[in-house]
Chains A and B, each alone.
Chain A
């Protein structure tokens, strides 16, 4: 009977050689495939939520990257984190627009190529040349999203008509029920608007600044607490706070979607816009990856992700993004008034001059404002 020998097997390999080759192939395959598919880590510095799976998971899977987010709270905190890190630590920096200028002045961000981004598709002309994002004709940051701050209230104790003015915070029934988001900038900006400073809300002379302090102090007896994000959220949810100063839809929107009887409106004195923008960190070795991600976030799909962000919603800044949101999630588009013709459409509000971009004090220092905030809290 013919018995095939291993020596006559495929390619003339004997059994021992075949086993060796097979074993080697099996053992090295994982390393080879890992080498081919090595995941690129992108270090992101951002407000909480921007590096969470609801925003980045799809992109990570499609592009074989992994975001390593470092979250901060407040522009000062962000600047300090960058200042204390070696260049190139953060590939991607999401900052509030008013801090972009300082990022650039300190040399923390790379110049960006405007042609890489859909600047011709912006919902408002301001967004193409957003204040502080350009210097000497060069672009340093790409606006991603925004949100408006105004009167946030519980519908059971404040009517929509009352909420049309910051005066509702002084309503006697709200004594001890007005909460503050514990950051001086938005609240003092609102008090400045209430004092009638309009577009000059950040550019206060001594008299105007004294008046803003006086107005703010007069609100102290109404105040039931000063809260961080979680505390603000809880205060409104459990009804301890019936109105909130210093926030907007970015918090009430989350609660509203959960069925809480809360809302935010832009009062007649005007509202404040927070604007979030992406920059590429100076010295980043993954600048191309970072650019690619920013392009994704500016695409219709990315803008929808941003608008639906679980941590806190924001409005789209591109026309294509808004159209995609309407198509993908009409309920959210309606709730956030991102519908052409809606009287509370954030873009319409900007065009009507009722919205002022958040900025830092022009004639005082941030320390002056913070010191007053500490005095106010301990009053």
Chain B
């Protein structure tokens, strides 16, 4: 059988010095390179430079001062926000992964292909609507005079305060991330070779042990990618903690807004943004390294 990627054709970026670069292939790669340079690398470099600028009379002036870094990183409220944001984003990731897993498992192993397709379609639908609108709709459901408390009232419970709490923030995060996590988990598990699961069961593995020792290890990469996506989206989300969490403990995105609102301190906001990016890069790289790390005995 032929190898999926033929070794007979040289890569356009071959290290052979006599090999001329394949301009045709390079041309097709240019748009994405330009895109990344213009809309990612460029703005990031500008943001790094901006973190050293100064604000005078509400106008940014070019400078190379470390005052913004020292001012932000020595403030207790910055680190309070930092650890709170990491904590709540981690909690959001754990919740989303746990809630999504049974649904994804059922879709991957119990549902017909037609049901799977419909389920994926229905999970994509929320992305057609504005996240802000979906978040505001929770006001009606979670307020003290809302739907949930009204139902609890029938059985003599409540009313409970759900808005302007960590619970409210988490509900917002789930609104944002859960459909995506279910989709990623479902696609990952649906691609597992069913023969391996059957083999485990035939060899006497209990259902729970099959999940732990066969399904989860085989879908490790997809699960970690889903978790990384969930963490990144929660970590950077402004809407849920602001509107459903009542900004009670400011997350880093809220701190960015607060910093720019007063005195137009965009350079200090840039410091917060860079810290967020560094954190996310570290977590994403660690996660991806874990996802693709080969287990013992793997070739």
Where the two chains meet, the residues of A that have a C-beta atom closer than 8 Å to any C-beta of B are 73-74, 76-77, 79-80, 83-84, 106, 176, 179, 182-184, 223-228, 231, 234-235, 238-240, 366-367, 369-371, 373-375, 377-378
**Which of B80, B139, B242, B246 contacts A224 (CB under 8 A)?**
B246
Q: List 7 A-B contacts (CB under 8 A).
A: A83-B58, A179-B246, A224-B161, A224-B248, A231-B243, A240-B143, A371-B75
Given contacts A80-B58, A80-B264, A83-B59, contact A378 B246 (CB under 8 A): no
Q: Are A240 and B163 in contact (CB under 8 A)?
A: yes
User: A228 contacts which chain B residues (CB < 8 A)?
Assistant: 242
Tell me the complex Cα distance, A366–B262, Å: 7
CB distance from A217 to the nearest CB of B (A): 13
In the complex formed, the residue of B with least CB distance to A74 is B261
In the complex, the number of residue pairs spanning A and B with C-beta atoms less than 8 Å apart equals 100
The answer to whether B264 touches A79 (Cβ under 8 A) is yes
Complex Cα distance, B168 from A235, in Å, reads: 14
Other A-B contacts than A83-B58, A378-B80, 7 sampled, CB-CB below 8 A, are A182-B258, A238-B146, A240-B144, A240-B163, A240-B164, A370-B261, A371-B75
Say yes or no: is B250 at the interface (Cβ < 8 Å to chain A): yes
Does B7 sit at the interface, judged by CB under 8 A? Answer: no
When A224-B164, A231-B246, A239-B144 are in contact, do A366 and B77 touch as well, CB less than 8 Å? no
Shortest distance in angstroms between B240's beta carbon and chain A's nearest beta carbon? 13
List the B side residues contacting A182 at CB < 8 Å: 247, 258
Q: Is the CB of A238 within 8 A of B145?
A: yes
A183 to B261, CA, bound (A): 9
Q: Which of A84, A224, A238, A367 contacts B262 (CB 8 A)?
A: A367
- In the bound complex, do residue A371 and residue B77 qualify as a contact, i.e. CB atoms below 8 Å apart? yes
B258–A374 touching, CB < 8 Å: yes
CB distance from A128 to the nearest CB of B (A): 29
Q: Is the CB of B247 within 8 A of A184?
A: no
Task: Give min CB distance, A25 to chain B, whole Å.
Answer: 50
Q: How far is the CB of B6 from chain A (nearest CB, A)?
A: 55
Give the contacting residue for B77; candidates A238, A240, A378; CB below 8 A.
A378
- For the complex, is B263 an interface residue (Cβ under 8 Å from A)? yes
Pairwise interchain contact A377-B262, C-beta atoms closer than 8 A: no
A226 B248 Cβ-Cβ under 8 A? yes
Please, how many angstroms separate the alpha-carbon atoms of A179 and B161 in the complex? 14
Q: B249 and A378: CB pair below 8 A?
A: yes
Residues of B contacting A367 with CB < 8 Å?
262-263, 265
Instruction: Write out the residue numbers on chain A whose beta carbons fall within 8 Å of the beta carbon of B131.
Output: none
Q: Which residues of B contact A74 (CB under 8 A)?
A: 261
- What is the CA–CA distance of A228 and B132 in the complex, to the nearest angstrom? 15
CB < 8 Å neighbour of A366 from B81, B245, B248, B263: B263
Listed residue (A74, A80, A369, A371) with the most chain B CB atoms within 10 angstroms of its CB = A80
**Chain A residues within 8 Å of B104, by CB:** none
- Are B263 and A370 in contact, with the CB atoms below 8 A? yes
Q: Does B255 sit within 8 A of A, measured CB to CB? A: yes
Residues of chain B in range 121-139 having any CB-CB distance to chain A below 8 Å:
139
Q: State in angstroms the CA–CA spacing of A370 and B242 once bound together.
A: 18
Beta-carbon contact of A77 and B255 below 8 Å: no
Q: Does B84 contact A (CB under 8 A)?
A: yes
Residues of chain B lying within 8 A (CB to CB) of residue A378: 76-77, 80-81, 84, 249-250
Q: Give the residues in chain B near A235, CB-CB below 8 Å.
A: 164, 246
Most chain B beta-carbon contacts within 10 A, residue among A73, A83, A369: A83
**B57 in contact (CB, < 8 A):** yes
Chain B contacts with A in 61-87, Cβ cutoff 8 A: 75-77, 80-81, 84
Q: Which residue of B lies closest to A73 (CB)?
A: B261
Q: Is the CB of B143 within 8 A of A377?
A: no
